[in-house]
Structure 1
Amino acid sequence: MYKNGFIKVELATINQTIGRPLENAIETLKILNNSQSAIVLFPELSLSGYTAADLFYEKSFLDESLEALKEVIDKTTYKGVYIVGLPLLVDEVLFNAAIVIQDKKILGAIPKKFIPNYKEFYEKRWFQAGMFTQNKEITILGQKVLFGDMIFENSQYNVKFGVEICQDLWTTYAPSDLLALNGAHLLFNLSASTEHINKVEGRRSAVIDHSRKQISGYFYTSCGSSESTTDVVYSNHKLAAVLGEVIGEKDFFNKDETLVVDVDVDAIKHQRRVDMTYADQKIGNEKNIPFIPFTITESKTYQFEKQLDKTPFIPKNNTEYQFRLASAIQTEALKTKLRSVNNLKIVIGISGGLDSTLALLTAYKAIKELNRDPKDVIGITMPAEATSNRSKNDAVKLMEKLNITQLVIPIKKEVETHLELLNHNHEDTTYENTQARIRTMILMNTANKENAFVLGTGDMSEIALGWMTFNGDHMSMYNVNAGLPKIWVKALVEYYAENEFKDYKNILESIYNAPISPELKKEQKTEDEVGLYEINDFIMYHFLVNGKDKKQIKWLLENTFGLTNEQNDKYIERFFKRFYTQQFKRQPMPEGPKVLSISLSPRGELRLPSDIKRK
């Protein structure tokens, strides 16, 4: 139900019987008594049926709806929070209400604020709008209950939620806006929405946008086609969105009664801390809204509803467009830089690896789009003792295919001379860094000679881990890859091989299938030293995007990669040690475009002191 900041939420649509609330209670109990979620949301007027029409005038029908509520409360074995809808008579005024319940206790009753009265909707025939109601204590089934505006709070885990009903979502200033600004992390909407062409898109957009602007989780469920179909058909659309992204959805064609999602509440809290506009709006919009306590059971056997995404940085929706956009961001950034430096040429070190390949393809695209000669891109491959034939050949072939200016400058002798000068004769960090710095010196001096600037190639994963030689490959005049993690670099090279650079597919395949290595020593593999980039990027995502701590990340790793406890600890300790101790390399890092939602730029986003002491 709840663990390490994740809460399980269930959205339900029952098989309605119009005019028979007790039968609706039976359907409600079927779902509740099988639920393992912390919170279950049912549709608008779920116990009575939304299309009961003039039955809402009948006192006996209203009493039956309350009897159905009592039946659910008395007979459920479910211990979590559930939210049902029913017509509620308060001081002889009828309201469309949401009832929030936990463990035989009614926690609160919320009226629908805005009543639709257009086209197929004519609720004002029966219901009073709740927008002007004052909070008051009423009696429901013998229990004293607050009626009006409220937020439900679990203080143990700092989880707060609010409730609104159907039309409230569609208003210019939704009730949930105020609830969010007063601390609600999760917003629940009981709905009865008709289905017609183009409505699904609008409904989805509204839910997504509420979760985005409210920096929240927004959960929506509609009543389904078992409502009366006299003139319209009702949707069973269930939607869950968090921070502007859909995390779960079942539409008209999916007849499942429920949708269960895992909600990262801590990610919502983290984003609110990061986005100061939330605090700006919160101050001045805080109202005297009562907080009603509820309980959450911590689960030792929490199971995610679906496998966690191993590559959360990579988009899963509209993927081809996102790759095109990443390519365009990199290319446009470099074009602007080229214009600003009076059309200098580009010098780039080509190793035959992923990063330099992506930077080269970006440079080639930028030069071509500026209608300049590809020869203005000067690619230099600088083989040393450990350089493999594969990487050298791939580098040369790619440069030949692109028809850029290519130089092959072996550095073996230069490295030996420099090490002799230092009286150094064994392979260690000095040996490796000497190669990186000599290569950078050649690139810089060639740039001086050719009226050019050096284009950097290091990616975000290397920048996070400090996997670069200070004042070696760490330095350039502009780094076009700084905004992309390693998994993105590989995916974008694959995208180019299948799309824009099909003629070079064989070369690109050879590059992205090769082991990742700086080739500073024989048989050297980067992932033997720093761990798999897929796992490091997973850690980086949940740390920087969702604000997870070590304990939470370890749990996520356990649930995602199936590593041993020792392996998890090693990955986490290595990542965080390198991340904090290598900040000094990020402080003077070159400029480069932001591509994803996060950046490691010390100027634009990540501001940490170099001498930080953090475990």
Structure 2
Amino acid sequence: MTANTVKVAIAQMNSIVGDLAGNARQICDYVSRAAAQSADIVVTPELSLVGYPPEDLLLRSAFYQQTQVALQKLAQDLQQFHNIYVLVGHPLERDAYHYNAISVLLNGAVIHTYLKHALPNDAVFDEKRYFATGDEALVFEVKGTRFGINICEDVWSGDAPQLARAAGAQVLLAPNASPFHVNKSEYRVEVMRKNISSLGMSLVYANLVGGQDELIFDGNSFVLNQQGELCSQLKHCEADLQILDFVNGVPQMGQVLENLPVEAQIYYALVLGVHDYVTKNGFPSVLIGFSGGVDSALTLAIAVDALGADKVRAVMMPSPYTADISWLDSRDMVKRIGVRYDEISINECFAAFNNTLSKEFAGLKEDTTEENIQARIRGTILMAMSNKYGSIVLTTGNKSEMAVGYCTLYGDMAGGFAVIKDVAKTMVYRLCAYRNSIGDIIPERIITRPPSAELRPDQKDQDSLPPYDILDGIMQAYMEENQSRAEIVAAGYSEADVERITRLIKINEYKRRQAPVGIRITHRAFGRDWRYPITSKFRD
């Protein structure tokens, strides 16, 4: 090995927000493993010491104080690894201002600190609420190679990369906390080629992995050479460590993983999201209201893959309108997947509600009121079991239903975590097919039978909604792509369908605000990057 070869390790770690001691232990473990492979530099993700995003923890002075103590202790703990430069992300309080920072730790001391220049303040980001901006480049030399540092948004926008290049950087180290959406990995590489490779620098893009509330960080860290060629890529939705040789600033070829198909990207993001939300919050197990339909079947499969069958319990709650095939398909799937399964009839509860309300509703015909009572009985049963056993209820509603309000407040919306909240109905079918391609666990009839809430005789979803391919197309254009109604009609959808769907999206905002937090897998989900008023008279 020549003197001009530098070994750079990417520590694709899964931080937990606020767990300073646990995150520090993780960093020490990564550095130990990298040291065993003779690494010279270890790059951890953005805010690796405190987790991302800390949100309003960043408004508390104690958070900065404890972070500084943890950083100093980490530096001392790492001094056993001689002459290894470790990049650690953390918030920093300096002169009454707060910054998003990266510190370089070496031999027991903080030798450099870089302050993030570009602060994202759109989509799911609101860093201008918390941080001031830095404006100086940071370049340091290791074995004759000059390394610059940028943080996340710096390499996406602004002039920080140019400043690093002007300061002499040959390789840009870029700790990131870039959340997942479909095809985000390919998009990152494309943008980095435009922004960094065009400047003649190599790039080490070290991304966070893990679930944090509704956000999924997918990892997929990578290295580009000066020509923009992919030299290394880390795992999707898994913690990982990879070390690459840089010879005179030029990265050598390492392991490059193939891009996953869309269905695989989404499925493993959902699995990671469920695993981390449940385990990081300390829930012992999960409960799922299992109807024998496609949404609950997909949710059940994801939960088992995330947690193991022993931590998942499926509860079938038949009503007078539950079809025989729903019983049969439910029993078939739970047998294949090996979870605890119980059947609790709601017939007596439903009859009691109807009897209690009979005088109040005398002379009025049955309508969605009676349908919603059934859903709310089921929600009450699941939440009672959650209280009794400490298990969290995973709700099973999809994005199409959430968009148009085809869901019941305090009924099927009752629960603690909405697994497929950002998954359109058409994608639900694709994900079921993908999961069965790995192992045949979802009975084919669950996938092929017409979807139904089974809250009245012979009910089908399409009695109340347009076909899902039409609904999803309009929803995506209007909600995700921000297109106008005129643009959507021009794309080939009927004016009546567009008017109906966009109206339903608007008037059901009050329902979505009361829904549990759920996993974000598109570039715009109903959640922190959808902020429409409930009370509004505006019509476009």
Give the alignment's TM-score, normalised by structure 2: 0.51
Number of residue pairs matched by the alignment: 291
Q: Which residue of 1 aligns with 2:376?
A: 437
> Judging changes above 3 Å, is the alpha-carbon distance between structure 1 residues 384 and 614 closer, same or farther for their aligned structure 2 residues?
farther
Are 2:351 and 1:411 equivalent residues in the alignment?
A: no
Q: How far 1:546 moved relative to its partner?
A: 2.7
Give 1:561-580 correspondences, 5 Å limit. 568-580=494-506
Q: Quote the offset at 1:213 in angstroms.
A: 7.0
Q: CA deviation at 1:354?
A: 1.2
Residue 285 of structure 2 corresponds to 345
Once the two structures are superposed, what CA deviation does each residue of 1:215-262 show, in whole Å capped at 9, x if it has no partner? xxxxxxxxxxxxxxxxxxxxxxxxxxxxxxxxxxxxxxxxxxxxxxxx
Partner of 1:366: 306
Indicate the residue corresponding to 1:597 in structure 2.
Answer: 523
2:482 to 535, 539, 547: 547
Which AA in structure 1 matches 2:505?
Answer: F
**Equivalent AA in structure 1 for residue 415 of structure 2:** S
Q: Secondary structure at the match of 2:476?
A: helix
The aligned residue for residue 447 of structure 1 is 386
Report how far residue 485 of structure 1 moved: 0.8
Which residue of 396, 399, 404 corresponds with 1:460?
Answer: 399
Q: CA deviation at 1:544?
A: 2.5
User: 1:211 and 1:436, CA in 2 relative to 1: closer, same or farther beyond 3 A?
Assistant: farther
Q: Which residue of 1 aligns with 2:412?
A: 473
> 1 CA distance for matches of 2:538 and 2:390?
43
Where do 1:414-429 residues align within 5 Å?
414-423=349-358, 424=361, 426-429=365-368
Q: 1 CA distance for matches of 2:347 and 2:280? A: 36
2:38 corresponds to which residue? none
Shift in alpha-carbon separation, 1:408–1:206, aligned structure 2, 3 A: closer
Q: Structure 2: how far apart are the matches of 1:399 and 1:582?
A: 34
Q: Is the 8 A contact 1:581 1:612 kept in 2?
A: no
Contact 1:478 1:590 in 2 (8 A): yes
Matched, 1:398 2:333: yes
| Equivalent residue in structure 2 for 1:329, among 251, 254, 269 | 269
Counterpart for residue 424 of structure 2? 485
Code of the aligned partner of 2:307: I
Is 1:348–1:456's contact at 8 Å kept on the other side of the alignment? yes
Structure 2 vs 1, CA of residues 467 and 614 (structure 1 numbering), >3 Å: closer, same or farther?
A: farther
Secondary structure in structure 1 of the residue aligned to 2:381: helix
Task: Give 1:557 deviation, angstroms.
Answer: 2.1
Distance 2:487 2:283 in 1: 48
Separation of aligned partners in 1, 2:268 and 2:187: 25
Deviations 1:242-286 (A, max 9, x none): xxxxxxxxxxxxxxxxxxxxxxxxxxxxxxxxxxxxxxxxxxxxx
Q: Partner of 2:473 in structure 1?
A: 538
Q: Which residue is equivalent to 1:585?
A: 511
Q: How does 1:87-102 map to 2 (within 5 A)?
A: none
Secondary structure at the counterpart of residue 286 of structure 2:
strand
Q: CA deviation at 1:552?
A: 1.3
Q: Which residue identity lines up with residue 400 of structure 2 in the other structure?
A: S
Q: Deviations over 1:377-424 (max 9, x none)?
A: 110001111111112211121112211111101111210111110114
1:577 CA displacement? 1.2
- Work out the CA distance in 2 between the residues paired with 1:474 and 1:213: 43
Q: What amino acid maps onto 1:351 in structure 2?
A: S
Native 8 Å contact 1:586 1:600 kept in 2? yes
AA matched with 2:278? L
For residues 88-167 of structure 1, what are the structure 2 equivalents within 5 Å?
A: none
- 2:535 alignment partner AA: D
**Conserved in 1, the CA contact under 8 Å of 2:475 and 2:502?**
no
Tell me, yes or no, if the aligned pair for 2:318 and 2:346 is still in contact at 8 Å: yes
Please tell me whether the aligned partners of residues 320 and 347 of structure 2 are also in contact (alpha carbons under 8 angstroms). yes
Match of 1:387 in 2: 322
2:477–2:488 contact (8 Å) kept in structure 1 = yes
Helix, strand or coil: the match of 1:454? Answer: strand
How many angstroms does 1:342 deviate by?
Answer: 2.0
What letter matches 2:341 in structure 1?
Answer: Q
Provide the secondary structure at the position in 1 that maps to 2:392: strand
State the secondary structure of the residue aligned to 1:557. Answer: coil
Do the aligned partners of residues 322 and 419 (structure 1) sit closer, same or farther apart at CA in structure 2, a change above 3 Å counting?
same
- Deviation, 1:448, is 1.6
Flag structure 1 segments of 5+ consecutive residues without an equivalent.
1-179, 182-203, 215-317, 369-373, 559-567
Aligned mates of 1:487, 1:569 — CA distance in 2: 21
How far did residue 341 of structure 1 move?
Answer: 2.9
Corresponding residue number in structure 2 for 1:498: 437
Larger Rg: 1
Aligned pair partner of 1:513 in 418, 442, 448: 448
Answer yes or no: is the 8 Å Cα contact 1:580–1:612 preserved in 2. Answer: no
CA-to-aligned-CA distance 1:284-330 (integer Å, 9 cap, x gap): xxxxxxxxxxxxxxxxxxxxxxxxxxxxxxxxxx9953222211111
Where do residues 231-310 of structure 1 align in structure 2 (5 Å cutoff)? none
Letter in 1 for 2:481: N
Q: Give the aligned partner of residue 166 of structure 2.
A: none
CA distance in structure 1 between the aligned counterparts of 2:327 and 2:283, rounded to whole angstroms: 29
2:531 paired residue among 595, 604, 607 = 607
Between the aligned partners of 2:406 and 2:193, the Cα distance in structure 1 is: 37
Going from structure 1 to structure 2, the CA distance change for 1:319 and 1:410 (only over 3 Å counts) comes to farther
Q: Residue 341 of structure 2 aligns to a residue in which SS?
A: strand
Q: Percent identity?
A: 26
Q: Once the 2 structures are TM-superposed, how far is the Cα of residue 211 of structure 1 from its aligned partner?
A: 11
* Structure 2: distance between partners of 1:529 and 1:213: 48
Matched-pair contact (CA < 8 Å) for 1:386–1:522: yes
Do the aligned partners of residues 211 and 342 (structure 1) sit closer, same or farther apart at CA in structure 2, a change above 3 Å counting? closer
Structure 1 CA distance for aligned equivalents of residues 273 and 189 of structure 2: 33
2:279 matched to 1:377? no
- Indicate conservation of the 8 Å contact 1:486/1:533, yes or no: yes
Instruction: Give the residue type in structure 2 aligned to 1:579.
Output: I
**How large is the Cα RMSD of the aligned pairs?**
2.5
8 A contact 1:530–1:574 mirrored in 2 = no
Is residue 480–residue 525 contact of structure 2 (8 Å, CA) maintained in 1? no
Instruction: Indicate how the Cα distance of structure 1 residues 517 and 597 shifts in structure 2: closer, same or farther if over 3 A, else same.
Output: same
Map Cα deviations across residues 55-93 of structure 1 (whole Å, 9 max, x no partner).
Answer: xxxxxxxxxxxxxxxxxxxxxxxxxxxxxxxxxxxxxxx
Cα pair 1:332 1:366 within 8 Å, conserved: yes
Q: Letter of the 2:408 partner, please give it.
A: T
Matched with 1:128 is none
Alpha carbons 1:580, 1:614 under 8 Å: kept: no
Q: Partners of 1:544 and 1:533 in 2: how far apart?
A: 15
Equivalent position amino acid for 2:376 in 1: R
- In structure 2, what is the Cα distance between the partners aligned to 1:449 and 1:518? 27
